Amino acid sequence: MKPLAVLLTFSVLQAGTLSIAAVGDIMMGSDYPTPRLPPEDGRLLFSDAKDILVRADIAFGNLEGVICKGGECAKDLNSGYYFAFRIPPRMAGNLKEAGFDLLNLANNHSHDFGEEGLRQTKRILDSLGIDYIDDGVAVLTVDSIEVAFIGFYYGRCKNSLLEIEPAVAKVESLDRLYDLVVVSFHGGKEGNKAIHLPRGVEYYYGENRGDLRRFAHAVIDGGADLVIGHGPHVPRGMELYKGRLIAYSLGNFCTYRGINIKGYCGYAPLLWVELDEEGRFLMGRIYSFRQYGGGPKWDGTGEVFSLIRNLSATDFSIPTLEFGSDGTFYPINP
């Protein structure tokens, strides 16, 4: 079964309805410390997913690494704990060709090559017409609906998910200015054992990675209409809170070498969300992709969707979403 064949079962969106396609980590290949790059500069990495991404009003992903040439690595890779990714600028056009409108840079890899690496990344994305969020806000307009995106991260930054009250204040400010607010966060434990969303603060190698339930609920209380998580490198469950969707982790989507894709780390969901003009969640769909070493490939077995459906049932005490057999899901009591 091809993704486009499934996509064509979507009904035509009603006026005032916004569609967002969201994926997790994107790292198309790195030339540092040694080149690990895909054939044809990654031209075919997104070929299975492109037809879905380009159809969305807004296509969003988390850029795991910087797009730059040269520079000095800002991490001690000899420790075995840190990793750095430098995507060659000639590959950046793949993101535009795939249909991405907006990328998150608020994560632990945006400074892999210091401020200069981040500046180069922003300049390249600007040249392609791709918006981004790091310490700032991106505002995209779809049919007169103004959508503000803001990203939070557990590290030292202006938008820390560890500082919940200031985060809520920022969301409240955006809610007063724009029609819809989407919050992206990068946090949580990592790896195949991190598929379940715990209660309370998560730690990874002794580092505080956030209390993600508390954070997500708080920013929705502050006016967020959609919360999209990434960072654990595996998918996690979803819930509806006050009519707003929270996807706690979308895992790895396109991570070519250098990032583990064994087991659940190779599950690459593509989340499709439809919101009304007030930000209320109408319906969604999980498109199942898997990574085998050459970008996301369509998974006709639907294992990725099944995992997220099961996690959404087991990790939350009150069910809020009703799942179909075809990857779709809806509010239980709209």
- pLDDT for position 79: 76
Per-residue pLDDT of the chain (334 residues; tens, 9 = 90+): 444 444 445 445 566 799 999 999 999 999 999 999 999 999 999 999 999 999 999 999 999 999 999 999 989 888 777 899 999 999 999 999 999 999 999 999 999 999 999 999 999 999 999 999 999 999 999 999 999 999 999 988 899 999 999 999 999 999 999 999 999 999 999 999 999 999 999 999 999 999 999 999 999 999 999 999 999 999 999 999 999 999 999 999 999 999 999 999 999 999 999 999 999 999 999 999 999 988 999 999 999 999 999 999 999 999 999 999 999 999 997 5
Distance CA 129, CA 127 (A): 6
Q: Which residues pair with 256 in a beta bridge?
A: none
What letters, b where the CB count within 10 A reaches 16 and e where it falls short, cover 39-53? eebbeebbebbbbbb
- State how far the Cα of 231 lies from the Cα of 191, in Å rounded to an integer: 9
- Sign for the CA dihedral angle at 297, 288, 131, 259 comes to negative
81: tokens are 């704990």
Q: What is the pLDDT of residue 334?
A: 57
* pTM for this model (two decimals): 0.95
Nearest to 232 by CA among 193, 289, 205, 272: 193
Q: Which of 205, 261, 235 is nearest to 82 (CA)?
A: 205
Residue 305 structure tokens: 């969707």
Backbone angles phi, psi at 333, to 5 degrees: -125, 80
Helices (H), ranges, 54-205: 93-98, 114-128, 164-177
Please name each of the domains of the chain with its CATH number. 30-331 (3.60.21.10)
DSSP alpha helices (H): ranges in the chain?
A: 3-7, 50-53, 93-98, 114-128, 164-177, 212-221, 303-314
pLDDT at 1: 40
